[in-house]
Structure 1
Amino acid sequence: MKKLQDSLEKTAPDRLARLQERLDDVTSLAQSIARFPSLLERANTTTSTRTPMALVESIISYQEEGDTVLHMPSKAILGKGFLVAKIHTFFSMSKLAKNYALMDEKEVKEYYDETVSMMFTLMAEDVYMNLIKDKSVSIDLRRELANSLIILWEHRSDQTISDIAPVLQSVWSARRRLAPAFGSMMGTSELMMVTFQMDDQWGAFIKEKLSEPDVAQAMEEFLFGVSYEQILRLKGILRDQGVKSIGRDEVSSYLGERVKTDINLDYRDFYLLYTVRRDNARARQRLHIEGPKNTLEDHFIRFIMEKNQEKQKNDTFAKI
């Protein structure tokens, strides 16, 4: 941070002044949020007493559909806004470092990587909420997820996501370099290319879970960048017209609607496309219609947390 500020002081003092104003604003926001009662301690609210255990059970038991914003603690809502402000600030710093401070590529990347890491934390909140509502997940894991969610709300950071984020980012980067076969719509070779570039966690996930229909369908959506419903339509159209393969830029014309299939390394694109898949999955779940009811991110994070939970149990038994 200091190197960026020192460089801007020499090359773009006007930009430094604006950056300092933004940093002051973010700091003030953090201080204001910190004045709200901690979610990790017993607290007397305006109308009742809240404990972390009671909050966990409340999160697990609340199974209503729709936006839960009015049922969430104020600190959770405010913290999400703070995280978004912080993401924008760090992204601005990455651009300042590159375009004005003339810092080297490695230093610029540090700011961008921190931006992406915070984006995954933002995404984690949605994933945790999805999994907590999923009754196919064990109650023990749902309780652990609720605890993780409260910690995330309190500190706006999460160790599990910090560990998983590099894997998901690598999957996204690998996907960007691929050219899925819009024709067969199988994506098998693309999936293998992604897997070969990944670590053991991803390989184990593919090996153990890809045979499950919901995981396979979620994987297709992720790889091709279009919805399950659009994939089915596109398969039918290409089959009926006898077309073997098309490019990404032709997908929209074949479907007769605008489809964002172009991809880049912008973290905002990752989150945008994730939210589309998230909302589609939630709609299918609510309406009981065919197609993936969870996103690929849901499945992968659930897999990792279940493995971690299993390892903890085995370690405990080994000590007895």
Structure 2
Amino acid sequence: MTQPLAFHPGTSFDSEEQETLRSIATLLEESSSPESQTLLKSLTENVERVGGLAHALAAFPPIFGEQELGARIRGRDSLVDLLTHADDTSIELFLPTRAIVGRSLVMAELNTWRLAFYLLLELSPKVHPLSEKVEYWMYSCIYTRLAEDVLQSIAMDTDTERRIRVAAVDYLSRFWESRHLYGARHFFPLLSATWAARRRIRVSVGTLLGVSEIMRLLQSGCDPEFVDYFSRPHLDDDEHQAFQEFLIGVSTEKIQSIAQLMEDSGTFSLTPEEAGVNDELGKDSGQTHECVRFYQFFRSRYLQASARKLKDLPGPKKTAEEYVMTYFLDREATV
């Protein structure tokens, strides 16, 4: 007989998440499927392993406060200085152990929700009412990871004012210190709401101005402040292009080639098919869940921006999310 679903006293799953997982466990217990006990065992063992990881996280020293080792002092200021020596290939060598274990915990939680999603599919080929809740928790993990990536990028950027980098590290420390209790939806509702809205819209390309995408973003619950930032009268070219990438879902270089195609053909508007734009976020894939593709949607833009900065190429050197968060961290640090 499979052991009942149980949570460690210091579990990283909050009460609502626990309720969702218990509901799935109950469905498996009551299922007449010959595989139900095997599926239930997979769920309970996975939750147990995540609990062990949360317990391990609690054993590492807190991020806040200073620590001394001989003549060496570690604190917020030393971390701000240290991260300027890091890049995407070496960032984990500069992070506190608690931050690295915490990141692993978020990914372990994500995989638990991915497992739960597939368990529901095994129970019924039809979409189960609990699937929507499971997807909500999946995206919460993705948004937390994305927000951390955005903040880390700002903290590593030596071209950004120190006070803004300090603010980014402050938020990173809060993530690392309490990620078992809070995620991006608590710390950065602006980003979470914007990402949630973006994944609901489908690209139309049109005139490449992104007007229809902006309207759909707002209608889908995007934080108006995100759009307002890119509606400023003195927006520079890099910011405008980063916003276009966010709206249309392809690189600046691809957008420019589409614009050239429209000019050469005398066309003022194109469909995604005519422009050769595949809306990856709208694709149904049996291999990867949409939440994974959404993370890739950010990372591809981020890596392209980093490459432009490294090689001093034209085009945005940051993602739209980085531009917005730098602005809000600047505003917060000024208050």
TM tier relative to shorter chain: 0.7 to 0.9
Offset at 1:125? 1.8
> Who is 1:133 aligned against?
156
Give 5+ residue unaligned stretches, structure 1. Answer: 253-258, 314-320
Paired AA for residue 115 in structure 1: M
Q: Residues 184-199 of structure 1: matches in 2 within 5 Å?
A: 184-195=207-218, 197=220, 198-199=222-223
2:197 to 163, 170, 174: 170
1:68/1:48 CA distance change after superposition, 3 Å:
farther
How far apart, CA to CA, are the structure 1 residues paired with 2:56 and 2:216? Answer: 47
Cα offset for 1:104? 5.5
Match of residue 24 from structure 2: 4
CA distance in 1, matches of 2:267, 2:227: 33
Structure 1 residues 169 and 86: CA distance shift in structure 2, 3 A: same
Q: Could you say which residue in structure 2 is the equivalent of 1:317?
A: none
Aligned twin of 1:153: 176
| In structure 1, C-alpha distance between the alignment counterparts of 2:188 and 2:320, rounded to whole Å | 15
Q: Does 1:115 align with 2:142?
A: no
Task: Identify the residue that residue 232 of structure 2 maps to in structure 1.
Answer: 208
Is 1:263 matched up with 2:281?
yes
Q: Distance in 2 between matches of 1:65 and 1:89?
A: 27
Q: Deviations over 1:255-291 (max 9, x none)?
A: xxxx753322811111101100000111111111110
Cα 1:77–1:194, aligned 2, differ >3 Å: closer, same or farther? same
State how far apart, in whole Å, the 1-side matches of 2:332 and 2:37 are.
48
TM-score where L is the length of structure 2: 0.77
- Superposed CA deviations along residues 186-222 of structure 1, whole A, max 9, x for unmatched, are 3233324434554432343233378332221011112
Partners of 1:210 and 1:180 in 2: CA distance: 24
Structural RMSD (CA): 3.0
Go from structure 1 to structure 2 and tell me whether the alpha carbon gap of 1:60 and 1:14 turns closer, same or farther (over 3 Å shift): closer
- Look up the match of 1:300: 324
Q: Which moved more, 1:19-28 or 1:65-74?
A: 65-74
Which of 241, 261, 271 is the aligned partner of 1:247? 271
For residues 312 and 234 of structure 2, what CA distance do their matches in structure 1 show? 22
Letter of the 2:145 partner, please give it: L
Considering fraction of residues, name the structure with more helix. Answer: 1
How far 1:19 moved relative to its partner? 0.6
How many pairs align? 299
- Closer, same or farther in 2 for the Cα pair 1:199/1:210, shift >3 Å? farther
**Percentage of pairs with the same residue:** 21
Question: How far has the Cα of 1:170 moved from its partner?
Answer: 1.3
Q: What's the TM-score once normalised by structure 1's chain length?
A: 0.80
Q: Tell me, in whole angstroms, the C-alpha distance in 2 between the residues paired with 1:59 and 1:161.
A: 25
**What are structure 2's unaligned runs of at least 5 residues?**
1-20, 284-289
Aligned to 1:143: 166
